[in-house]
Amino acid sequence: MAKVTMTVNGRKVSGEVPGNRLLVEFLREDQRLTGTHVGCDTSQCGACVVHVNGKAVKSCTMMASEADGADITTIEGMAEADGTMHPIQQAFQDNHGLQCGFCTPGMVMSAAALLKDNPNPTEADVRHYLEGNICRCTGYHNIVKAILAAAGQDVSKIAAE
């Protein structure tokens, strides 16, 4: 067992973890932050994307011990303290960017990483960036639309699909 300490959504947390503890297990099971989902568990689907020191990472494919000292943001850290949604979350709601919602936490975290690097992406940029995030419900169109809307673009001319 080793002691790990990290800042999760602005709060300092620590715990004793065995060597084989995954970051996603630490977040979901030890911290009870179950917003981060596990879809494939093999670094394919992106449902588990969180930010580690500002970078999008698949938390099912990183050991908790490797995140010792890191600054982590999960989907729970996106909304304001009063419950006001983050603009990306709001855009997903406004543009019907989710159906079952399973992929959504990872989609929102990937979208946030994209918009930080590229605040005004093209549709092609968004689709390319989401290569590692799989959704089996929406067909992606409204996810892409939501992200473009969150970037402040006029999406009224893009047909709802």
Partner 1 sequence: MYAFDFEQPKTIAEAVAALADDEAQPLSGGQTLIPTLKQRLAMPSKLVSLTAIPEMKGVCMNGNTLCIGGATPHAVVAAEASAYPALAALASNIGDPAVRNRGTIGGSIANNDPAACYPSAALASGATIVTNSREIAADDYFQGLFQTALEEGEIVTEVRFPVPQAANYQKFVQPASRFALVGVFVAKYADGVRVAVTGASNDGVFRWTEAEAALSANFSPSALDGLSVSADGMIGDLHGTPEYRAHLIGVMTKRAVAAAS
Ligand X SMILES: Cc1cc2nc3c(=O)[nH]c(=O)nc-3n(C[C@H](O)[C@H](O)[C@H](O)COP(=O)(O)OP(=O)(O)OC[C@H]3O[C@@H](n4cnc5c(N)ncnc54)[C@H](O)[C@@H]3O)c2cc1C
**Contact of 135 with 122, CB cutoff 8 Å:** no
The span of 27-35, 82-90, 135-143, 148-156 binding ligand FES (CB under 6 A) equals: 135-143
Asked if 21 and 28 touch (Cβ cutoff 8 Å), the reply is no
Binding of ligand FES by 101 (CB under 6 A): yes
Q: In whole angstroms, what is the distance from residue 67 CA to residue 23 CA?
A: 7
Instruction: Answer yes or no whether residue 156 interacts with partner 1 by CB under 8 A.
Output: no
Give dist(CA 142, CA 52) in Å, integer.
Answer: 27
Query: Can residue 42 be called a binding residue for partner 1 (CB under 8 A)?
Result: yes
Least distance (Å) from partner 1 to the CB of residue 94?
Answer: 25
Interaction between residue 153 and ligand X (CB under 6 A) = no
CA distances to 116, 120, 131, 150 from 126, rounded to whole Å, are: 12, 10, 9, 12
Q: Which does 155 bind (CB under 5 to 8 A by kind): ligand FES, ligand X, partner 1, none?
A: none
**Sole window of 27-35, 71-79, 84-92, 136-144 interacting with ligand FES (rule: CB under 6 A):** 136-144
Q: In the complex with partner 1, which residue's Cβ is closer, 60 or 91?
A: 60
Of 80, 39, 30, 76, the residue nearest 58 (C-alpha): 39
| Residue 65 in the binding site for ligand X (CB under 6 A) | no
Candidate ranges 31-39, 95-103, 109-117, 138-146; the one touching partner 1 (CB under 8 A): 109-117
152 vs 45: CA distance, rounded Å: 27
Would you tell me the crossing angle of helices 87-94 and 104-117 to the nearest 10 degrees?
Answer: 120
Query: Residues in the site for partner 1, rule: CB under 8 A?
Result: 2, 18-20, 22, 41-43, 46, 49, 52, 55-58, 60-63, 65-66, 68, 110, 113-114, 129-133
